[in-house]
Amino acid sequence: MKLRLPSFDPDRLVWVGFGASSALAGLGWLVGSAGAWGGRIVSLLMTTCVALLVFVWWRVGPHYRHPLLLTASSAVPMLFAPPLFSLDVAAYLAQGRAVVEGLNPYVTTLATTQLPDLPVGGHWADTTSVYPPASLWTFAAARWLSLGHTGLGILWLRLFHVAALAMVAWVVRDAARRLAVPPTAALWLGLACPLLALQWVGGVHNDALLVAVLAAAAWAALRGGWSGLLAASALVGVAMTVKQSGAAAGPGIVALALANLPRPTAQRVTARVVVSATCALAVFAVISLASGFGFGWSRASSGSPLQAMNTSPLSWVAQLMMLAVGPDRAAPALTGLTILSGIAVLAATCWLLRRYGPWPGSQPHPWLVLVGGLVAMAVLGPGTQPWYFTWAAPFLIFCLPDAKPTASRSWHRDPQLLAVVALAAATLLSPLQATFDALPGLIVCVVSAAWLGRRWDAGLKAK
């Protein structure tokens, strides 16, 4: 598989990317002290830095010999930045403090244990933890290792995420070799894209740990056989103890494990699907119960993603309802919207399995089931955030056909270019939302993506 994009002077461009990331980290320290309008101006400058990172990644191209060097040039300066474009880490460390101090994070509100110099956002201050045990242990480890220093707590979480990034890179490289995909192209699209460094290191989002475990599950599934299926299913259960959304990867992981099943019949496939689901749920339940935390994340006090404005259209409806009748009276409607979201994700997953699953007489495409399931959860779920797209980004290249872009094909009909434009747009979404708020930021992001595609079309026609 070859992604064909123009590239030039990649070694110099890597240094440009390092400079842009360093400027982004430096500007991050100015946002809080710049005032309302000054903060907007600083956010706009930070958005320009992110756009430059995207430009560098785009122009370096998939044939660069050292794609992970490009990843490092973006990630290293962000280790020393304040949390970028999100304060989720405030909630992480508040929950970690609760665990370290022997409090129940499913009963204790975030406002009770928030750090004095890193307060939790107003939407979540009166809520309890929504995260399963593995995330709570990670937050507690960072808090304990920080010795009470907030900056060290953030740095430890970032180092955990860098380790997760390395794990994902190893799996992507190994999978690329197995699937006859150029490893440099796979690492360029899936790891060197600034989306991952920006969200996992800069934004300190714990989705890095989720994706690392899912990558390990995919690697186990590629072994095939019962051993590969059971190991991969167990790892899906582990992933669910990091974030419940890891369950969305389950069908795709099973499809990977069954892709080369000899003499597939409906009975053999169904039996393996049932065993896999049982194994994943059992691992999730055993870890949750053995941790002593149980399933407290399911309490109503943990809140809902619909409480805050995000990129999901469902959240826009929820915000209008709360504005019209008040948060308390709108609560049943939020529950209904959450159920509707779950039905939409389930329907999309069933369609993917029916269309691309390992059924008798079909031509399975397990990577499409995996990536499609994760994208469905990210887009159709009750909350859509830019960092959710990191779930699928590392595996995206394994879904793309080996087709050369031509001038006769528009950018939105070219899967390879569409993947690149989508990742570029997802990378720009966080800074644009920080600068223009959620809905206007999404509009600017879509317009920017269309402009990038048209530029590509113009370049092809010029050739």
More confident: 265 or 136: 136
Mean pLDDT to the nearest integer, 142-153? 96
Mean pLDDT to the nearest integer, 88-104? 96
pLDDT band for 100, please (50, 70, 90 cuts): very high
Query: Tens digit of pLDDT for each residue in 342-380?
Result: 999 999 999 998 889 888 777 889 999 999 999 999 999
pLDDT band for 9, please (50, 70, 90 cuts): confident
pLDDT value, residue 31: 84
Query: Tens digit of pLDDT for each residue in 296-309?
Result: 998 888 887 777 77
**pTM (2 decimals)?**
0.89
| Rounded Cα gap, residues 330 and 320, in angstroms | 10
Domain boundaries, given as residue ranges, for the chain = 1-203, 206-296+303-402, 410-463
The pLDDT of residue 99 is above 80:
yes
More confident: 122 or 100: 100
Query: Tens digit of pLDDT for each residue in 197-254?
Result: 999 999 999 999 999 999 999 999 999 889 999 999 999 999 999 999 999 999 999 9
Average per-residue pLDDT for the chain: 87
DSSP states of 395-460:
GGGGGS------TTS-GGG-HHHHHHHHHHHHHHHHHHHHHH-HHHHHHHHHHHHHHHHHHHHHHH
Q: Give residues with Cβ within 8 angstroms of 453, minimum separation 6.
A: 410, 411, 412, 417, 418, 421
pLDDT band for 381, please (50, 70, 90 cuts): confident
DSSP bridge pairs for 134 = none
pLDDT value, residue 409: 47
Query: Tens digit of pLDDT for each residue in 401-458?
Result: 764 444 344 445 677 788 888 899 899 988 888 777 645 545 555 565 565 555 555 5
pLDDT band for 14, please (50, 70, 90 cuts): very high
Query: Tens digit of pLDDT for each residue in 22-57?
Result: 999 999 999 877 666 777 889 899 999 999 999 999
DSSP states of 91-160:
HHHHHHHHHHTT--TTTS-HHHH-BTTBPPPTTTTT------HHHHHHHHHHHHHTTT-HHHHHHHHHHH
The pLDDT of residue 195 is above 60:
yes
pLDDT value, residue 270: 87
Q: Is 275 exposed, middle or buried (0-12, 13-18, 19+ CB in 10 A)?
A: middle
Three-state DSSP class for residue 220? helix
Q: Give residues with Cβ within 8 angstroms of 22, minimum separation 6.
A: 77
- The token pair at 435 is 């600068």
Residue 407 CA, chain-centre distance (Å), reads 32
Taking a C-beta distance cutoff of 8 angstroms, is the pair 236, 217 a contact? yes
